[in-house]
Chains A and B, each alone.
Chain A
Amino acid sequence: MTAPPPEVAATPATPASSVPRRHVPAALRPVLGLLGCVVLAVAVAVAAPDPSEQLRRRWSDAGPGAWAVTPDRSARVTSVAVVGTVDPGYGDVLASRQALVVAQVDVAVRHRVAQLNHVYLRTADDKEYAPRSELSSAGLAQTQPGFTRHATLVFEVPSDRLPRAELVVDADAASVDGYTDAIRLDLGLGRTVRVSPETVTPAPASVTTT
């Protein structure tokens, strides 16, 4: 004999029609919709990372004298001098109360033309120093694929910022930046950097076939 199923206390169903519903007045709906959009836009703007700080790079690193290689270009530092005076060979002599870093670099370009207009010295505390434009005739410039540019870059930097500084050959400066390759070259500057009193005259830039 089978036991009868236990009785389940039935819960009286509440008819949906009896639940009070709050209606948003029709006149307010567009306003609330607009407010929602504004709140969403502000939230996105506040939460989105700063694009200038979130540039994505695939870094290729190399020590002094060694080539750093990326698909489009390779670069190396062949010599580094830290001096107080640079004579461009014309006009006034650049005499600094800080330190002048004179770096000879080679950049070999492949596949596509390179502007080489975004190269800088980066210090350990993330300050960026552009090459002195007074000596641009010795510096980097647009280079066609299949050629290697040999240049001398001069940076003026406080001497206490020089330890562990590196040379960055970054992606060409453009209106839109994206995910790309870039090069970091160790300048070989140790913990203490001595500024030499000698005067250096940079050689003019030259180009050879790769």
Chain B
Amino acid sequence: MIMSPTAARTPRRRTALGWIPLVVVVLLVGLVAATGGLAKAPGVGPRRFAVGEPVVLARWVLVVDGVDLVDTTSYGSPSAPTLRVRLRATWTGDATEPLLSSGLVHVVVPGGPPPAADVSSVAAGAYSGGFDPDVERPATLEVVWPDGADETTPRVPAPATVQVVVRDEREAQNFLYADQWQVTDPLGHVDVPVTDSRTR
């Protein structure tokens, strides 16, 4: 019996064609590896920053310098116990921004009662106005601790450290407003020793 040439090549051709997907996969994996796609990914989750380390955000650069526990206002009058966060902030936009974005920073007291939810911005030295483009200036944030405390609240032991949690922003595109930004999940935090400066 004599087989036709076409019939004789068919099994070999099928065998050769069967290697093509494997070759394609190997090439693709090689391409991904060559472009760095198989490198170990950086750790996922909130990062930890050091005191004094710049935290670079989408529109701000923040540096956490310290936290004081105080019970007087900056003018010296009695106040509720307050955690006062000392920052340096640099606005990287194109025009002066009147306020530090709301929600960028909040404070967590590990193992202790929670601070109030509201974080207020107060004057930092001579600065009480806006943030100019690419000009680093001090900023001070205050949060009452424990939540609900006032001038008459019995004294509680000061926490050794607090976590200053920093969130980033992302632009929220829409057709109604320009330049809308939303605060993201926490980017990371800074463990900051607390200086107890209470007078009562």
CB distance from A153 to the nearest CB of B (A): 13
The verdict on B68 contacting chain A, using a C-beta distance below 8 Å, is no
The verdict on B128 contacting chain A, using a C-beta distance below 8 Å, is yes
Overall SS of chain B's interface: loop
Contact, CB under 8 Å: A134 / B129: yes
The verdict on A181 contacting chain B, using a C-beta distance below 8 Å, is no
The B-contacting residues of A in range 103-162, CB under 8 angstroms, are: 120, 126-130, 132-134, 155-158, 161
Contact, CB under 8 Å: B178 / A158: no
Instruction: Give the nearest-CB partner of B137 in chain A.
Output: A156
Contact, CB under 8 Å: B136 / A128: no
The docked-state distance in angstroms from the alpha carbon of A92 to that of B158 is: 30
Interface residues on chain B, number (Cβ under 8 Å): 18
The A-contacting residues of B in range 52-96, CB under 8 angstroms, are: 94-96
Residue among B125, B126, B127 with most chain A CB within 10 A: B126
Chain B residues contacting A129 (CB-CB under 8 Å) are: 95-96, 132-133
The docked-state distance in angstroms from the alpha carbon of A161 to that of B133 is: 11
CB distance from B86 to the nearest CB of A (A): 15
Contact, CB under 8 Å: B134 / A134: no
The docked-state distance in angstroms from the alpha carbon of A158 to that of B137 is: 12
The docked-state distance in angstroms from the alpha carbon of A141 to that of B94 is: 24
Chain B residues contacting A161 (CB-CB under 8 Å) are: 134
* Given A50-B178, A157-B132, A157-B135, CB of A128 within 8 Å of CB of B95: yes
Which 4 residue pairs spanning A and B have beta carbons closest together? Answer: A133-B129, A92-B126, A130-B96, A128-B95
Mark A residues whose CB is within 8 Å of B: 45, 50-52, 88, 91-98, 120, 126-130, 132-134, 155-158, 161
